Structure 1
Amino acid sequence: VMPSEAEHDVLAYMAFDESLRSKLHSTNPLERVNKEVKRRTNVVGIFPNREAAIWLVGALMLEQNDEWAVSRRYTPVEKLTAMCNDTDAATMIAAQ
């Protein structure tokens, strides 16, 4: 894909509310989760089998999901809901 062809995809986050833009193009939450997975797997050292590793990482993902859903919402649900209900904004985002 040529850079000029990908321009709309790369800049799609610009159609969202200004307060959400920095969060949409940032990978900070993903990097934080990956760091926590690495930290916890290093504590264990060697896993007895693949299922044990999947169980530990799965438990961490469930814990992270619960935390984000309840206490540390990265993106306010109200703003996303308002954007989804705004037909002009939804059309503009889909057209990008």
Structure 2
Amino acid sequence: MTANTSIDPAVFLHDQLAQASPDLMRDLLTTFINALLSAQADSVCGAEYGTRSPDRTNSRNGYRHRDLD
């Protein structure tokens, strides 16, 4: 008889989070928030970071990732 190779994503995620370090959620949130901030800056500027575009309305000066306290 063959083993069941199907994985329930919700159970898998729950198991991984239960075994993870406490800093995992902080790291996930930091990555997510920085991605949102970068996307917001891209939309305000009219172009992605580091690209030249005739549609660009302004520039991104000094953008950096920030750690959560």
Relative to its length, the structure with more helix (as a share) is: 1
Q: Same fold (TM over 0.5)?
A: no
Report which of the two structures shows the higher radius of gyration computed on alpha carbons: 2
Instruction: Give TM class, smaller chain.
Output: 0.3 to 0.5
TM-score relative to the length of structure 2: 0.43
Q: Normalising by the residue count of structure 1, what TM-score does the alignment of the two structures yield?
A: 0.35
